[in-house]
């Protein structure tokens, strides 16, 4: 599921206030979570929700100093006379950091509501002391204004500088230097309030999801590591219930329960797709310890007599291999990310639905986690017939009839502040977001146009969602329509 947020201007004039920079040895993360005035879920009060989003450069790769763009977890960055260094002489937090020579790194995207930017830095290896500066643009990178004074780089260990900023519209940042001595830059943190307007995670449609025509890759199973959610109880993937009463019995070939460790699903051998997929999302799942792996493969865990959808089964269909549990929701290990690329986690999804509308929604939910929440998510699809990119007419099946194209794609997300006692913390005022989109390529990119109630989805599917909640709580949260804010 892909993304690009729609950014909203909060003013026509830009006012920039630089409060100088403050040096310290650690980052002050500040308050995380909602300061809303109602409910217990950090929801829709009058005070905007704080966010803290860090670019740690761990997923990027750039080995040469020539100008090029690099896709990172926050978006695309331009590297001019800069590389992503992983040598022993690179001073870094983790395995990688920017190594900047003469030139700059700058964002190819904007951020909203930022009030502070925090940067870790050091001089590279045995290079002499140097200087660098931070600047900000309020016109999409056409012009930049320096923030504070230039930083004199003398430390051989990472130190932290924070720059206080007030802007009434979207902005982007650039770090630049002069001279040929090198510096390391790492862990750039954006802090602010409201909708940051940027995404967290690598898009789920990097690479040719619709045009791959190579031979099918080798089928595989799942390796479940210690980073997987617990199998039962709080934080487990199916904590709020089994919507369709799926069972791990081969006689249930249209409602077969698969526990893939990093998510749980009901699979239909007749449709060749999941009915629904359920998972828990918190900050431990999105650590970016691994990049997006793109290792699509058939799943060996289904009955050998069933048809196995292959990695190239969608080729030429006009539909993306649309993730249910997104790749960017599982970056804590290679095992976790690989699990999301099994074809039992895919549906034929119209490219615009996948790459814009749905990924915008996924990025929004990851942003809720960045703001101090945890989210229980159930995604599914139903019906027959969608419109992809290959034609303007409805397509009911692909892969010689082995894979059904759904007519609708839906998601339900329970959003609560990170904590314990999750079941008892869900009340009538808890925020529960439900979205139901048509599987067509002409879809609007704004998922907020498709907000419904949980009961609407239950009516369409026949499922009993959030069944582990007390009935009175179900009745309250399932019948109200979220605002999308």
DSSP codes, 178-237: -SS--EEEEEEEEEEES------S--TT-S-TTT--SPPPPPB-----TTSPPSSSTT-T
CB 411 within 8 A of CB 377: yes
Q: Which residues are catalytic?
A: 323
CB 408 within 8 A of CB 433: no
Pairing of strands 145-153, 68-71: unpaired
**In which element (H, E) is residue 152 found?**
strand 145-153
DSSP codes, 413-479: EEEEES-S-HHHH--TTSEEEEEEEE-BTT--S-GGGGEE-HHHHHHHH---TTTTS-HHHHHHHSS
Neighbours of 383 (CB within 10 A): 16
Question: How far apart (Å, rounded) are the C-alpha atoms in residues 341 and 292?
Answer: 10
Going by C-alpha positions, the residue among 29, 49, 110, 48 that lies closest to residue 74 is 110
What tokens appear for 155 in the block?
């430390």
CB 197 within 8 A of CB 9: no
What tokens appear for 465 in the block?
């969602």
Cα separations in angstroms, 448 against 107, 113, 213, 352, 358: 27, 20, 35, 15, 11
| Number of residues in the chain | 485
Question: How far apart (Å, rounded) are the C-alpha atoms in residues 28 and 139?
Answer: 29
What tokens appear for 480 in the block?
């109200």
Neighbours of 259 (CB within 10 A): 17
Find the radius of gyration of the CA atoms of the chain.
23
């Amino acid at each position: 599921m892909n993304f690009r947020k729609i950014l909203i201007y909060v003013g026509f004039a830009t006012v920039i206030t630089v409060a100088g920079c403050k040096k310290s040895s650690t980052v002050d993360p500040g308050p995380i979570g909602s300061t809303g005035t109602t409910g217990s879920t950090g929801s829709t009060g009058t005070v905007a929700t704080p966010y803290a989003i860090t670019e740690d450069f761990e997923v990027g790769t750039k080995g040469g100093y020539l100008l090029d763009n690099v896709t990172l977890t926050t978006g695309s960055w331009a590297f001019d006379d800069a590389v992503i260094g992983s040598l022993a002489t690179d001073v870094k937090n983790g395995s990688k950091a920017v190594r900047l020579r003469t030139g700059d790194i700058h964002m190819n995207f904007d951020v909203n509501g930022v009030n502070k930017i925090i940067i870790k830095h050091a001089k590279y290896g045995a290079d002499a002391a140097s200087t660098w500066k931070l600047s900000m643009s309020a016109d999409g990178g056409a012009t930049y204004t320096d923030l504070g004074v230039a930083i004199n780089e003398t430390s051989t260990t990472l130190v932290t500088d924070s720059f206080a900023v007030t802007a009434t519209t979207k902005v982007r940042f650039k770090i630049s230097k002069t001279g040929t001595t090198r510096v390391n830059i790492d862990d750039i943190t954006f802090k602010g309030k409201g909708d940051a307007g940027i995404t967290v995670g690598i898009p789920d449609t990097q690479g040719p999801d619709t045009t791959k025509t190579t031979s099918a890759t080798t089928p595989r199973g799942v390796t479940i590591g210690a980073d997987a959610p617990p199998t039962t109880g709080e934080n487990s993937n199916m904590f709020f219930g089994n919507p369709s009463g799926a069972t791990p019995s081969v006689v249930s070939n249209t409602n077969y329960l698969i526990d893939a460790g990093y998510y749980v699903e009901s699979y239909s051998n007749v449709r060749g797709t999941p009915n629904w997929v359920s998972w828990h999302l918190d900050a431990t799942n999105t650590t970016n310890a691994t990049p997006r792996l793109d290792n699509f493969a058939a799943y060996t865990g289904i009955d050998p007599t069933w048809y196995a959808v292959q990695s190239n089964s969608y080729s030429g269909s006009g539909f993306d291999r649309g993730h249910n549990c997104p790749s960017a929701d599982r970056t804590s290990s290679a095992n976790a990310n690989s699990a999301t690329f099994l074809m039992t986690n895919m549906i034929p999804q119209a490219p615009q639905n996948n790459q814009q509308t749905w990924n915008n929604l996924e990025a929004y939910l990851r942003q809720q986690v960045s703001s101090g929440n945890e989210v229980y998510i159930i995604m599914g699809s139903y019906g027959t017939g969608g419109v992809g990119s290959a034609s303007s007419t409805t397509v009911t099946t692909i892969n010689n009839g082995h894979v059904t194209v759904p007519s609708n794609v839906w998601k339900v997300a329970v959003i609560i502040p990170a904590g314990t006692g999750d079941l008892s913390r869900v009340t009538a005022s808890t925020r529960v977001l439900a979205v139901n989109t048509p599987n067509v390529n002409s879809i609007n990119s704004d998922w907020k146009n498709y907000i419904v109630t949980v009961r609407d989805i239950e009516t369409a599917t026949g499922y009993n969602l959030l069944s582990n909640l007390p009935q009175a709580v179900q009745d309250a949260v399932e019948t109200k329509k979220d605002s999308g804010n």
